[in-house]
Amino acid sequence: MTEAPDSAVGERRPARRRKAATSAGAGAPAGTTGENGTSGKAGETGSPRGARTAAAPSARAAAPKPAKQPKPESRLALVRRARRINRELGEVYSYAHPELDFENPFQLLVATVLSAQTTDLRVNQTTPGLFAAYPTPEDLAAADPEELEQIIRPTGFFRAKAKSLLGLSAALRDRFGGEVPGRLEDLVTLPGVGRKTANVVLGNAFGVPGITVDTHFGRLVRRWKWTEQEDPEKVEAEVASLFPKSEWTMLSHRVIFHGRRICHARKPACGACPIAELCPAYGEGETDPEKARKLLKYEMGGQPGQRLKPPADYPGPPAPPLGAE
Ligand code: SF4
């Protein structure tokens, strides 16, 4: 993946929230003109005034100007806007972190495999019992499959996940001396471990920069027009090219935090969004500030987070243990 030079971006003032009522460009891509009408004269727009004009056509009314195309955003403008979004999110979510509880690379690897098709909360409520029963790869590799399935059942797809955990633990024991490898090419050879899981482990347990393209990340970066790709690997490569490598891991956390708290899949809370001014998709969700505030989740909405043991700087209450919700 290619990195864009850090020097491509100048410092700018923080974004101010765009006001829905006054936002002529709402819904138009940031950095574009947002114009797509004709000449803009009342007599040419189909308004009642326009209808009167049509009764006595003039040469100008008969030959309207072609619609103006929105100006495409230059590569430099895209890089600047993307990095500004990252900086703004860095201020809003200064406490962004992986939302899986873990104490070592093995625990993070197992938790990430379990997090497929479920919430981090459900995983965090399940892993204390799992790691108490099987603290090491050797212990987990020797687990009774049915007992393991019962422990991880709350995370869903428990048969397939149990198979992956048994397979990856045996591989760690047999091929990597019982240690989680710190290289992408090794991690992706483990059963149940794809590029996304590998990047989570590398970024958060080994300090190796990586971009995590999960459902939130993909949705948001497409809304922001950072990429139009759907394939996670292509998304990863295109987004990586907008930022210095050192930003990749924290960028992933910030974007995922924003997707979980404000920029939801079905109803983004645009009216309460701190980066609305920079977002081409502003207006896709609720723009009324009061109504938007009610859509906020986790600490933003005054609710518990997903981790039972959140980092000390997390501003919300910790998640409850299993069965205490
Ligand atoms: S909440 Fe709305 S304004 Fe904010 S990033 Fe999402 S789509 Fe854009």
196 is catalytic: yes
- Ligand 1 centroid–CA 122 distance in Å is 27
Task: Tell me whether residue 100 is in a domain.
Answer: yes
Coil/strand/helix, residue 268 = coil
In the block, tokens 């109803």 appear at 267
d(CA 26, CA 271): 11
> What's 74's DSSP letter?
P
In the block, tokens 């009324």 appear at 288
Of 216, 261, 262, 296, the one to substitute when testing ligand 1's pocket (max ligand atoms within 8 A of C-beta) is 262
Output the pLDDT for position 63: 64
* Total count of domains within the chain: 1
Range of the domain at 236: 92-301
Output the pLDDT for position 50: 33
Q: What is the distance in angstroms between the CA of the first residue and the CA of the last residue of the chain?
A: 42
214 is catalytic: yes
Selected residue with higher pLDDT from 11 and 325: 325
> What's 224's DSSP letter?
T
Residue nearest atom 6 of ligand 1, based on CA coordinates: 263
**Distance from chain centroid for Cα 253:** 7
Of 84, 263, 277, the one to substitute when testing ligand 1's pocket (max ligand atoms within 8 A of C-beta) is 263
Task: Tell me whether residue 41 is in a domain.
Answer: no
- Ligand 1 centroid–CA 116 distance in Å is 25
Where residue 300 falls among pLDDT bands split at 50, 70, 90?
Answer: very high
Q: Nearest Cα to 33, choosing from 74, 67, 68?
A: 68
CB 243 within 8 A of CB 9: no
pLDDT tens column, 24-72: 333 334 443 333 333 333 333 333 333 333 333 444 555 666 667 778 9
Residues in contact with 63: Cβ distance below 8 Å, sequence separation at least 6, in sequence order: none
- Angle (CA) 185-246-207 rounded to 5° is 50
Output the pLDDT for position 66: 66
Q: CB-side exposure of 97: number of CA atoms within 13 Å?
A: 17
Selected residue with higher pLDDT from 21 and 60: 60
pLDDT tens column, 96-152: 999 999 999 999 999 999 999 999 999 999 999 999 999 999 999 999 999 999 999
CATH number of the domain residue 225 falls in: 1.10.340.30
Summary mean pLDDT of the chain = 85
Q: Nearest Cα to 273, choosing from 300, 234, 313, 244?
A: 300
Catalytic residue among 120, 161, 196, 225: 196
Task: Tell me whether residue 60 is in a domain.
Answer: no
Task: Tell me whether residue 16 is in a domain.
Answer: no
- Inter-axis angle of helices 105-114 and 158-175, nearest 10: 150
Where residue 323 falls among pLDDT bands split at 50, 70, 90?
Answer: confident
Task: Tell me whether residue 202 is in a domain.
Answer: yes
Tokens, residue 105 = 């690379």
Output the pLDDT for position 56: 38
Burial class (CB in 10 A: 0-12, 13-18, 19+), 300: buried
